[in-house]
Amino acid sequence: MQRIPIKYAAPGMKLEKEAVTPEGQVLCGPDSELTAELIERLKKQGVTVLTVQGRPVVLPGDKSLGTRLKELEHRFSKVNNDPVLKAIKKLIAEFWIVQEKGPEAVASAQKNGGQN
Amino acid sequence: MTREELIERLDNVQSLPTIPPIVSRLNEMVQDEDTTAARLGKVIEKDQVLTAKLLKMVNSSFYGFPQRISTINNALVLLGFNVIKTLIVTSSIFEVMQASDIRLFEHSLGCATAAGIIARRRGIKNPEEVSTAGLIHDLGKIVLRAELPKEYDRILATSNERELPVRDVELEIVGMTHSEIGGILATQWNLPDSLVTPVKYHHRPAKCKDHQEITAIIHFSDILVRAVGFGSGGDPWVPPLDHKAWDIIKFGKSDAREILEELDEKLAELANFTGEIDQEQ
């Protein structure tokens, strides 16, 4: 799944989570397919961010999962002896992997000894 | 520069916009028991620019109100006077920061967001105050940058060259860390203790005697927002965790997953708020 500013939304994308107005009103649910009209309507209602399925957009400043995991490792390089922080690092890595590739990817990444 | 020289300099900060005169007027009004939020709101709303700035801040996603706040009166009722006063005092400083160091601005917004999430989960009475403490926790860095730009550049360059955390290099070059500097300024500006303490002790939470829970939350939120890599506090490293502070707020893995999820969602909304994506297009 990917969170995108609404201006990156395009017809054909499918919502992963419901679209919500700033007032908290739900406009359409998960699995709704975006159309040009729907996107316009969501914009008019003040929706700014959508959570869509897959990773359809390359946002400015977006980095690949591999780069992000490498940077995560570097950021933790001075606190690796702390068990709590180590656990948090692992949870962040897992969260990103699941977000990008789905839950089953975490197990195989751990098997390969990747980021942990 | 010695510590004493720096303290003297801080007594007479020249480079930052001064505190709006409206703040002392509001402080006087608050002393009066008859003052209502509606009256305070009327005084603030006379200044349209300030009103617009305040409404933008209180409606940003890190405070997390589901409904749009459209009047200062509402903002005062929902967020409390401490928060509104702090936002008035620091609003011009955040403008300086947004213009000069957008990554530090993002780090501050990110910390405010994480702090609000944790405060709400812990059922703290006024989570907006905790968010506001997160927003201003690195006040000292903005002051250093504005008041001593040469020293600030040297601090960043040295941190980078020797791979040392910024706060260690600050001690070496100006004799004080940004948290102490921020604490001195926040005290000078008469900000409430519940906000001064986390600014002053966010890297040494075990040292504070009051407001330990809010300070522990800011300490951890700073770590968390650096951990996920949102914005920049000047160096890339996650600071050490104080385990006394962690004992106050600790949570398990499933809570941590929920916090990460909520943080990720709110940070995506913030990217819109800072306008970073618009600028890069």
Tell me the C-alpha to C-alpha distance, in Å, between residue A75 and each of B92, B149, B223, B233, B258.
31, 26, 10, 12, 22
Name the residue among B250, B225, B252 with its Cα closest to residue B239: B225
Name the residue among B111, B81, B129 with its Cα closest to residue B179: B111
Cα–Cα dist A75/B229, whole Å: 8
B/e letters for A77-112, b = 16+ CB within 10 Å, e = fewer, are ebbeebeebeebbbbbbbbbbbbeeeeeebeebeee
Relative to beta strand A19-20, strand A26-28 is antiparallel
Across the interface, do A75 and B271 touch by the CB < 8 Å criterion? no
CA distance A73 to chain B (A): 9
Residue type, B149: P
The pLDDT tens digits of the residues spanning A35-57 come to: 999 999 999 998 888 999 888 88
Q: Which CATH number fits domain B3-12+93-275: 3.50.50.60, 3.40.50.620, 1.10.3210.10, 1.10.274.10?
A: 1.10.3210.10
Nearest to B246 among A5, A71, A84 (CB): A84
Residue A50: helix, strand or coil by DSSP?
Answer: strand
The residue of chain B with its CA nearest to that of A59 is B277
The contacts of residue B6 (CB under 8 Å, 6+ apart) are B174, B175, B176, B181
Total residue length of chain B: 281
Cα–Cα dist B206/A97, whole Å: 35
Determine the residue among A85, A86, A94 to mutate to test chain B binding: the one whose Cβ has the most chain B Cβ atoms within 10 Å.
A85
Q: What is the pLDDT at residue B276?
A: 42
Nearest to A48 among B68, B261, B272 (CB): B272
Give me the helices (H) in A45-82, please: 65-75
Each residue's pLDDT tens digit in chain B (281 positions)?
788 888 888 887 777 766 777 888 888 888 887 888 888 899 899 888 889 889 988 988 888 887 889 899 999 999 998 899 889 888 878 888 888 888 999 999 999 999 999 999 999 999 999 999 999 999 999 889 888 999 999 999 999 999 999 999 999 999 999 999 999 989 988 889 999 999 999 999 999 999 999 999 999 999 999 999 999 999 999 999 999 999 999 999 999 999 999 999 888 877 666 654 344 33
Residues of chain B contacting residue A87, judged by C-beta atoms under 8 Å apart: 253, 256
The owner of tokens 């601090």 is B155
Cα–Cα dist B20/B33, whole Å: 23
pTM (2 decimals)?
0.86
First to last CA, chain B: 42
Interior CA angle at B77 toward B75 and B79, to 5°?
60
Residues of chain B contacting residue A23, judged by C-beta atoms under 8 Å apart: 66-68
Cα–Cα dist B138/B140, whole Å: 5
Nearest to B67 among A23, A84, A89 (CB): A23
CA distance B272 to chain A (A): 7
Structure-token pair, residue B266? 């709110």
Element (H, E) at B9: helix B3-11
Main-chain phi, psi angles of B68, to 5 degrees: -70, 135
Cα–Cα dist B119/A89, whole Å: 21
The owner of tokens 């002053």 is B200
Cα–Cα dist B203/B216, whole Å: 9
